[in-house]
Amino acid sequence: MAITDLALFKKHVRADDFADDDEYLAHILDTAEMAVVTATNRPLEELLEMGDGNLPTPIMHAAMMLGAHWYNQRESVSSVQMHAVPDSLQSLIKPYRKLV
């Protein structure tokens, strides 16, 4: 999938000055986009129509936020207590969520 520009995602995660992680970053971005699109309960094509051929900006940003989290926190457990930023992802996704 990876509709979001990899160069923009690399800037988001502050990895734009090296290429060593490009393959991994592309994988994370693709996975995050799929997760966010799934969370909307809409087909990808419908979201692309809403964004005039691209994902709507809030959906794209939600994918970058989720991907950045996965890039920085690569394991499913942590020795450090992490705190979610209240409603950050949901506030971006919720307006596009189709109720079923």
Q: Which residues have C-beta within 8 Å of that of residue 21, sequence separation ≥ 6? A: 15, 71
Task: Please indicate whether residue 79 or residue 18 has the higher confidence score (pLDDT).
Answer: 18
Q: What pLDDT, on the 0 to 100 scale, is given for residue 93? A: 94
Q: What is the pLDDT of residues 7-59, one digit of tens each?
A: 999 999 999 998 999 999 999 999 999 999 999 999 999 999 999 999 999 99
Domain boundaries, the chain: 6-75+82-96
Six-digit token string for 77: 């457990």
N residues, the chain: 100
| pLDDT of 84 strictly over 90 | no
| pLDDT of 100 strictly over 90 | no
Q: What pLDDT, on the 0 to 100 scale, is given for residue 42? A: 96
Confidence category of residue 1, pLDDT binned at 50, 70, 90: low
Q: What pLDDT, on the 0 to 100 scale, is given for residue 81? A: 76
Return the number of other C-beta atoms located less than 10 Å from residue 64's C-beta. 24
Q: Tell me which residue has tokens 């971006």.
A: 92
